[in-house]
Structure 1
Amino acid sequence: MNRKRWTALFLVLAVFVLGIGVESIFGGIRNLTDHPEYAWDEHVVSGSGTAKIVQLYVNGTITSERSTASVTPMADLLTEQIRRIEEDEQVKAVVLRIESPGGEVVATDELHRRLLRLKELRQIPLVVSMGSTAASGGYYLATAGDAIFANPNTLTGSLGVIFTLTNYSNAIHKLGIQEYAIKSGRFKDIGSPARPLTEPERQIFQTLVNQSYDRFVDVIVKGRSLPRERVLQIADGRIYSGEQAKRLGLVDRFGDLEDATRYALTLTGLPEAQIVRFTENISLGNLIFRMQRYWSNPDPLGLERILQQGSTPKLLYQFIP
């Protein structure tokens, strides 16, 4: 039994030491292409020829915040993948597959701008394929597309902004707890959960929400060539089915990922192309890097982040039932 314990301990220490070595090596790397966190292979799904059509995936909540020690934020991954597409002259079109309820306003807007820059820089078509959910910030990204495909049952819409604050002032009052804020200005503790929200504070937050909402309306107007008055009518936060969205002019066609990819090929004017996806590179360096990151993290399960979620409110382009 003791021998087994010593063997297990030795293996753990070996992995940790190797991880530190990998960390020190990769810490000095400036090109993300060589970093284990951004190491992908190109997987050819189908097709032939030298030209490529890349199927790019937006999965889950759009965020730039790291959820756990071993998971890279989705916005960071997409940003690096977009950069690689920009540098690859063989890529002739991109199909953006969206399976997302949206997410952070800033992360969503930054990705949207990068998609527009990609189209302008490379002069290539971008076709959007919606999955079961492509709502709020998911739709925000979709407006960058030259065409939007959806299933009649896709959940989309939720066009708007939400900003939530947690308040427990009544609870702490009943418990006899007092919190004092020594502040430099009237609004320095704006949104404090320990006291009721004042009307001037509510107006400040509402102004921020309205500004982000106006930006959302702008990208729909420009991306979908719809009158602003019409967009204001339909962008009231409600959820739409794909069928409803098509009638409203938010979606162009019904179809799945393959339909969207075939349409992208027609836009290139080419007779054939390789259909390519980015897949995570499976290597010893990648495994050691992730294990080292996990074990060196003081909160590997993310419990502290979960407990503190309500303490940092954010503007969200997100469908939240």
Structure 2
Amino acid sequence: HRANGNQMTSSGQLIAKSGNSIAQKSPYVGELHIEGEIASGTPQSADYTTYDQNWLLDMIDQMKNDPNNRGLILYVNSPGGSTNATDELYLKVKDYKEETKRPVYTYMADEGASGAYYIAAASDRIYVNRNCWTGSIGVRLSTIYDVTGLMKKLGVKAETIHAGKNKNMGSVTEKLTGQQRKILQGLVDDAYDQFVQIVADGRSMPVSDVRKLADGRVYTAKQAKANGLVDGIVLSYDDAEKQMKKNGGLVGVRTMEILHPTVSYGILDYLTGKAEVTKDGKSRVSGENEKSSEAALLEKLLEENGSYTLSYLSDIRK
């Protein structure tokens, strides 16, 4: 059946669309999933994987304004992602907690690293599966390639007209200067300092102690618990949920799993080649055929020229 324009599953889960009210008629704890790489905006159909930033922000606002909501539990399975999207969601969770005074818990499944841990720091308590990898407190800038040697070999010349000696900084067709390395390192360092402070505030730890842990490494569940990065190790999500309800005086209050209305592929996605059907009958996003020639490699790198992102993203994936 449908409620407030949303669809309810037979097991009582709520499939909620952005903009639709998720207000319930009885007390509940909202469960949201943060899965996949964290990125800004709302994904398009053929690009949709598991993460939708705008939808998550909307659902938290909906719960904040719902008098029957009694708390929020985040189910996390993510390596992190964009610094901007990470901080935006962190601030939204923090605002929910401070404005409502309701409990916020996080459960990490296989992985809750980098930006995912950043967001979890807004929680009252963090529980991890005993096989979880977490931490990875650090920041990175996308790889900058220097293809000047390859261009010279192929007889290709490039010139960019710009004003300001650092305006073309990071171009794959120009070597980085020492000053430019310092500029880029400054961007990374500022984002890193912010991450460290977020963890220090969320875990009630001295900044100096967090810095000792924040060298970018991932931690096992046992290591994270021993270092104060998480509150407990559990065997399953159900165990974390029980702990939340016991500690928050919410025993007997139902949990409402709020599900994303997963974007489906349309006929145009298949006709334009954005999506394809695999041999096992499943849909997936199409990928371009790999090209092995030097010219093709150069073309790919030039297409990415000057496009670099700061991210709280773990390179070590489980």
Q: Which TM class, normalised by the smaller chain length?
A: 0.7 to 0.9
Structure 1 stretches of 4+ moved >6 Å: 295-298
Query: Which amino acid in 1 is paired with 2:34?
Result: V
**Compared CA separation, residues 41 and 311, structure 1 to 2 (3 A):** farther
Moved more, 99-108 or 188-197: 188-197
What's the CA shift for 1:167?
Answer: 2.6
Aligned to 1:50: 26
Instruction: Report 1:52-201 matches (<5 A).
Output: 52-64=28-40, 68-70=44-46, 71=48, 74-164=52-142, 165-201=144-180
Deviations 1:64-110 (A, max 9, x none): 15665342852122112212211221110111111000000000000
Q: For 1:291, which of 262, 266, 281 is the aligned residue?
A: 266
SS of the residue 2:215 aligns to: coil
2:71 & 2:163 partners in 1: Cα distance? 53
Moved more, 166-175 or 90-99: 166-175
Query: Which amino acid in 2 is paired with 1:53?
Result: V
Count, aligned residues: 276
1:97 & 1:53 partners in 2: Cα distance? 13
State which structure, 1 or 2, has the greater radius of gyration over its C-alpha atoms.
1
Q: Whose helix fraction is larger, Structure 1's or Structure 2's?
A: 1
**Compared CA separation, residues 201 and 302, structure 1 to 2 (3 A):** farther
Deviations 1:146-204 (A, max 9, x none): 11111232111111000022332221121121110100211111100012111111111
What's the CA shift for 1:50?
Answer: 2.4
Aligned to 2:224: 245
1:74 & 1:154 partners in 2: Cα distance? 23
SS of the residue 1:185 aligns to: coil
Answer yes or no: is the 8 Å Cα contact 2:97–2:104 preserved in 1.
yes
Answer yes or no: is the 8 Å Cα contact 2:41–2:54 preserved in 1.
no
Aligned to 1:274: 254
What's the CA shift for 1:293?
Answer: 7.4
Return 5+ residue gaps in structure 1 as ranges.
Answer: 1-32
If the length of structure 2 is used for normalisation, what is the TM-score? 0.78
If the length of structure 1 is used for normalisation, what is the TM-score? 0.78
Aligned to 2:295: none
Answer yes or no: is the 8 Å Cα contact 2:273–2:286 preserved in 1.
no
Answer yes or no: is the 8 Å Cα contact 1:41–1:281 preserved in 2.
no
Aligned to 1:314: 309
Answer yes or no: is the 8 Å Cα contact 2:133–2:221 preserved in 1.
yes
Moved more, 199-208 or 161-170: 161-170
Sequence identity percentage: 29
2:123 & 2:304 partners in 1: Cα distance? 33
Q: For 1:264, which of 241, 244, 255 is the aligned residue?
A: 244
